[in-house]
Amino acid sequence: MSLSAELFQRAQHTIPGGVNSPVRAFKSVGGTPVFIDRADGAYLFDVDGKRYIDYIGSWGPMLLGHNHPAIRNAVIEAAAKGLSFGAPCPAEVTMAELVSKLVPSMEMLRMVSSGTEATMSAIRLARGYTGRNTIVKFEGCYHGHADSLLVKAGSGALTLGVPNSPGVPADFAKYTLTSEFNNLPQLAQLFAQHGDDIACIIVEPVAGNMNCIPPAPGFLQGLRQLCDQYGAVLIFDEVMTGFRVALGGAQAVYNVTPDLTTLGKIIGGGMPVGAFGGKRDIMQHIAPLGAVYQAGTLSGNPIAMAAGLAALTEISKPGVYEALTAKTTQLINGISAAAAKHGVPLTTNQVGGMFGLFFTTETTVTNFAQATQCDTEAFKRFFHLMLQQGIYLAPSAYEAGFLSLAHSDADLAHTITAAEQSFKQL
Ligand code: PLP
C-alpha cells in the first residue's frame, strides 16, 4: 500500500472524509488522494516520492510557483519578530496602500483570513449600507461557504433560493436570488421584480468554480448598469481572478468598476489571507468607523502580510502577466491540438493565467448548464491517466486550472505529451 493510501485510511478515522476541504478527497474522480510532502516551483512531491507538475497551485495562490524564495524569506524574517500581535502592525498599512494602488476601486480595504470571510463580510456590508436583505448570485459561482452563499438556482429558471447544504435555514436562503451567468435578460427580469429589495449582486467576474467561463461581452457592464439603476451594490468576487487574470484583476481586463471587491489566494502568497474593500463611502460603514460589525483575531497577521507583500511585489514586476498568459496559451493550444489529433471533442477557455478544459462537442461553453453537460466520465479517465504520468490537475471537472511563472517550456511540453498519450487511450 502506498504511503498516501495509508495516510488516507488513517485520516478517515479522525477527519471527516479524510480531508480538511471536500474536493481534496477525489470523490468526483474516484481513487485515493495523493498526500503531499513538499512543493517547489511548478512541482509537488508526494509522500511516496513521486513528482507532479502542478496545475492547481494551491487552488490559485501559487502564481509565482511553490516555495518562492522571496516569499519564503519574507515569512522567515517576519516570523523572527513574533507570530501574531493582535494589534496594528506596519505591514498592514503597506499592504492596504499597495492593494489600493494595484486595484484602484479599492479605496479602503480590510484584511481577513480567507476568501469566505471576505465575501461574507462584503455581503454584510452591502446589506448594512443599503438597508436591504436580498442578494443576487449566479448559478455555478462559488463564493465560499457562508450561509447566504451556499445557494444555487434550479436549472436555468429564475427562482427563489433554496439552500444546497443542510444546515442553511430555508428562511435565510430565501434572501439569496440566483440567476444564470451570462444571461442579462434573465437578470433584468429579476431586478424588475425584486430590484427595490436587492442589496447587492455578487459575481465571479470570470467564473472559476464551474470550470473556467469568461463573461460574455457586455455582461459585466450590464451588471454595473442594473446596480446603478436600482441602487444595489456591485461586488466582484476576485478571490480567484484577483492578480491572476491581470495585475488589476478582472475589473482591469473588462474595464468595469465594482463598488466592492473581495480578494484572497494570491494576496496571501500561500498564507491564509483575504481582503474586502471598495468605495470609501461604503467602506466607512464598517466598524469601528461605522455600525456594520466585522472583526478577526488574526486579521492583518504580520506573517501573512509579509508573505502577501512579497508576492504582490514580485508580481508587480514588468512582464509577469505577459509571460503567464503566453505559457497558459501554449499549454491550451498544445492540449487542444493533441485532443483533435485523437478525435477527442474538447473545448477550452482561457483568461490570463487561468484555463478550463471541457469534454464536450459544444464549440463554446458560456454557462453552468453547458459546463455540467460535459462528459464527466471522460474527464475522470483523463484525470487519472494524467496523474499516472505525473500531471496534477484539479480532481473535478468543475474547477479552473492555474499556471505559474515557474512552469517551464519543458514542463509544458511534458504535459502536452502526457495529454496526447491520455487522449489516445480515452
Ligand atoms: N470566492 C471565490 C471566487 C473562490 O474561488 C473561493 C475559493 O475557492 C472563495 C471565494 C472562498 O475562499 P476560501 O476558500 O479562501 O474561503
Question: How large a percentage of the chain has pLDDT more than 90?
Answer: 91
And the C-alpha cell for 12? 478517515
Our answer to whether residue 142 is catalytic in this structure is yes
Q: What is the mean pLDDT of residues 67-88?
A: 98
Give, as one character, the DSSP assignment of residue 271. Answer: B
Strand partners, 318: none
Using the structure block, give the residue that is written with the C-alpha cell 474547477: 399
- Quick check: CB of 300 below 6 Å from ligand 1? no
- The mean pLDDT of the chain is 95
Domain end call among 315, 337, 355 = 315
Handedness of CA 139, 143, 144, 149 (dihedral sign): negative
Q: Residues 331, 249, 201, 121: is their CA dihedral positive or negative?
A: positive
Question: Residue 259 catalytic?
Answer: no
Decide the pairing of beta strands 233-237 and 260-263.
parallel
Assign 162 a pLDDT band (cuts: 50, 70, 90). Answer: low
- How far apart are the C-alpha atoms of 155 and 369, rounded to whole Å? 7
Q: Are residues 34 and 157 in the same domain?
A: no
Per-residue model confidence (pLDDT) at position 419: 98
Q: Is 209 in the pocket of ligand 1 (CB under 6 A)?
A: yes
**What sections of 63-195 are H helices per DSSP?**
69-79, 90-102, 115-130, 170-173, 184-194
Which residue in 142, 254, 321, 398 is the catalytic one?
142
Same domain (yes/no): 62, 88 = no
Q: Are 398 and 370 in contact (CB under 8 A)?
A: no
**Alpha-carbon span 296 to 304, nearest angstrom:** 14
Of 21, 24, 116, the residue with max ligand 1 atoms within 8 A of its CB, to mutate for a pocket test, comes to 116
DSSP one-letter string for 200-261: EEEE-SSB-SSS-BPPPTTHHHHHHHHHHHHTPEEEEE-TTTBTTTBTT-HHHHHT---SEE
Atom of ligand 1 nearest to the CA of 21: 14
User: Is 115 touching ligand 1 by the criterion CB < 6 Å?
Assistant: yes
Atom of ligand 1 minimally distant from the CA of 274: 15
CA distance 395 to 33: 9
Q: Is the CB of 237 under 6 A from ligand 1?
A: yes
Instruction: Find the range with the poorest average confidence among 37-41, 74-78, 164-168, 189-193.
Output: 164-168
254 lines ligand 1 (CB under 6 A): no
CA of 203 to the centre of ligand 1 (A): 12
Atom 15 of ligand 1, nearest CA residue: 115
Q: Is 38 helix (H, G, I), strand (E, B) or coil?
A: strand
- Number of folded domains in the chain? 2
Q: Which helix (H) or strand (E) holds 387?
A: helix 376-388
* 142 CB near ligand 1 (under 6 Å): yes
- Residue 361: phi, psi to the nearest 5? -90, -10
Beta bridge partners of 200: 135, 233
Residues 279 and 341 grouped into a single domain? no
Residues 231 and 292 in one domain: yes
Indicate if 98 and 26 belong to the same structural domain.
no
Residue 228 vs residue 23, higher pLDDT:
228
127-136, 152-161, 195-204, 321-330 — which is least confidently predicted? 152-161
Ligand 1 binding pocket includes 204 (Cβ within 6 Å) = yes
Q: Among the options 237, 259, 375, 411, which is catalytic?
A: 237
Is there a catalytic annotation at residue 171? Answer: no
Q: What is the per-residue pLDDT for 26?
A: 93
165 lies in the same domain as 223: yes
Residue 294, helix vs strand vs coil: coil
Find the angle CA(200)-CA(203)-CA(209) to the nearest 5 degrees.
Answer: 145
Domain CATH number, residue 152: 3.40.640.10
Please tell me the pTM assigned to this model: 0.96
Query: Which residue type occupies 79?
Result: A
Length of the chain: 426
Q: What is the pLDDT of residues 262-302, one digit of tens each?
A: 999 999 999 999 999 999 999 999 999 999 999 999 999 99
**Domain end call among 271, 293, 315:** 315
Closest ligand 1 atom to the C-alpha of 117?
16
367 lines ligand 1 (CB under 6 A): no
- Give the per-residue pLDDT at 172: 85
Q: Which atom of ligand 1 is nearest to the CA of 264?
A: 15
Ligand 1 contacts CB of residue 338 (under 6 A): no
Judged on CB neighbours under 10 Å (0-12, 13-18, 19+), 131 is exposed
- In this prediction, residue 152 has a pLDDT band, given cuts at 50, 70 and 90, of low
Is the model's pLDDT at 148 over the cut of 90?
Answer: no
Q: Would you say 324 and 353 are in contact if contact means Cβ atoms under 8 Å apart?
A: yes
Q: Is the pLDDT of residue 405 over 60?
A: yes
Bridge partners of 143, per DSSP, are none
Domain end, chosen from 274, 298, 315, is at: 315
Q: Are residues 303 and 401 in the same domain?
A: no
- Residue 205 pLDDT > 90: yes
Lookup result for grid cell 481534496: 24
User: 3-state secondary structure string, 69-103?
Assistant: HHHHHHHHHHHCCCCCCCCCCHHHHHHHHHHHHHC
Q: Which protein residue's CA is at the shortest distance from atom 5 of ligand 1?
A: 240
Q: Is residue 404 within 6 Å of ligand 1 at its C-beta? A: no
Ligand 1 within 6 A of CB of 399: no
Q: What amino acid occupies position 424?
A: K
Q: Is the pLDDT of residue 385 over 70?
A: yes
> Looking at ligand 1, which atom is closest to the CA of residue 241?
3
With contact defined as beta carbons under 8 Å apart, do 159 and 139 qualify? no
CA distance linking residue 245 with residue 249, whole number of Å: 6
Does residue 273 share a domain with residue 177? yes
**Least confidently predicted of 180-184, 234-238, 247-251, 367-371:** 367-371
| 143 CA from centroid of ligand 1 (Å) | 5
Task: Find the domain containing 412 and state its range.
Answer: 3-67+318-425
136 and 271 assigned to the same domain: yes
Q: How confident is the model at residue 250 (pLDDT cuts 50, 70, 90)?
A: very high
Residue 160 has pLDDT above 60, yes or no: no
Q: Tell me the best of 240, 271, 276 to mutate to test the pocket of ligand 1, counting ligand atoms within 8 Å of each CB and taking the most.
A: 240
Cell of 174: 430565501
Summarised one tens digit per residue, pLDDT across range 345-371 is: 999 999 999 999 999 999 999 999 999
User: Cis link prior to 166 (omega < 30° from 0)?
Assistant: no
Q: Are strands 51-54 and 108-112 parallel, antiparallel or unpaired?
A: unpaired
What CATH number did the domain enclosing 31 receive? 3.90.1150.10
Instruction: State whether 311 and 396 are in the same domain.
Output: no
Q: Are residues 292 and 418 in the same domain?
A: no
- Judgement on whether residues 13 and 99 belong to the same structural domain of the protein: no
- Average the pLDDT over 372-398 and give the result: 95
Rg (alpha carbons) of the chain, rounded to whole number: 21
Q: Which of 265, 321, 327, 392 is catalytic?
A: 265
Q: What is the pLDDT of residue 89?
A: 98
Contact, 408 vs 195, CB < 8 A? Answer: no
How far away, in angstroms, is 114 Cα from ligand 1 center?
A: 7
The pLDDT score that the predictor gives to residue 326 is 98
